[in-house]
Amino acid sequence: MYRAPFPAQLSVSDRRVIDNNATDVRVYQVWKGSNKFFLGGRVIFGPDVRSIFLTISLIVIPVLLFCAFVSRRIIYAFDNHLGKLIIFILILLTVYDLILLLLTSGRDPGIIPRNSHPPELEEDGSTMSTDWLGSQSSAGVPNLPPTKDVVVNGVIVKVKYCQTCMLYRPPRCSHCSICNNCVERFDHHCPWVGQCIGKVCYASVLIFQFMKNVG
């Protein structure tokens, strides 16, 4: 939740009055990405959230057709209620598949919050890449973003600076051009779920794809 800092000259009592009268601004209300929020910011979708309705229809319609035209033959073909059990398992897996789809589409995939101000290169100990220094134009405008060295498991890794989010992206982090956010362990932006596939929702996607292949 964003809140403007208090002036240093205010007393404690004045700060309490301002704090009680000020209206709090939620993070989703000042979000600079392209995401769409629902339920007071509790659910976050990508900008192409409408594609999830197509995905749901591609899952639900075949199941409904199966239950309407094939399920009766299965029920009569098997004895001891085995046919009914097969239909029940089919419906249960379909519901589970839809739950995984909604969890994947409506959750934060691992978005790294933006910085309000760019970091100071001299203060944080970052080092410029020689490729970046050599690619500067005559006017002094860089063609490539700066980088700095970080140590990961004893190995020096160069991380790139994101001009949009004003931060150094951790390893395996990329900026999604569709959602306009930096996502940790970014894999891709999936048009079927309308959301980025990243650190948080990657396991749900694997299970969802497995269930879809089984179905």
d(CA 201, CA 110): 8
In angstroms, the first-to-last Cα distance of the chain is 42
190 assigned to active site: yes
CA-based radius of gyration for the chain: 25
Catalytic residue among 162, 179, 190, 201: 190
Distance CA 10, CA 12 (A): 7
Angstrom distance (rounded) from CA 185 to CA 202: 9
> How many CA atoms lie less than 13 Å away from 161 in the CB half-sphere?
22
* Residue numbers annotated as active site: 190
